[in-house]
Amino acid sequence: MTQKFFSSVLVLLTLAVLLPAAARAQIGSSVRQVIVAQAPGWNSNTATLQAYQRASANSPWQPVFAQPVPILLGRAGLAWGRGVFTPPRNGIPMKVEKDWRAPAGVFQLGSLFGYAARPPSGAKWPYIQVGPWDAYVDDSNSPYYNQHVRVDPRRVPPWFEKQRMRLGDAAYKWMLEIRHNQGPAAPGYGSAIFFHVRRGPTKPSAGCSTMAVENLEKLIRWLDPQASPHYVLLPKADYAALRGPWRLP
Position 220 scores a pLDDT of: 98
Nearest-angstrom CA–CA distance, 41 and 20: 22
| Cα 41 to Cα 187: distance, rounded to the nearest angstrom | 27
Side chain identity at residue 161, one-letter code = E
Are 174 and 127 within 8 A, CB to CB? no
pTM of the full predicted structure?
Answer: 0.90
Half-sphere exposure of 41 (CA within 13 A, CB side): 7
Structure confidence by residue, pLDDT tens digits, 219-243: 999 999 999 999 999 999 999 999 9
The per-residue pLDDT of the chain, averaged, comes to 92
Per-residue model confidence as pLDDT tens digits over 177-192: 999 999 899 999 999 9
Closest CA to 172 of 143, 226, 210: 210
- Write out pLDDT tens, residues 68-126: 999 999 999 999 999 999 999 899 999 999 999 999 999 999 999 999 999 999 999 99
Long-range contacts of 161-164 (CB under 8 A, 24+ apart): 163/135, 163/136, 163/137, 163/138, 163/139, 164/132, 164/133, 164/134, 164/135
Q: Could you tell me the domains of the chain? A: 33-242 (2.40.440.10)
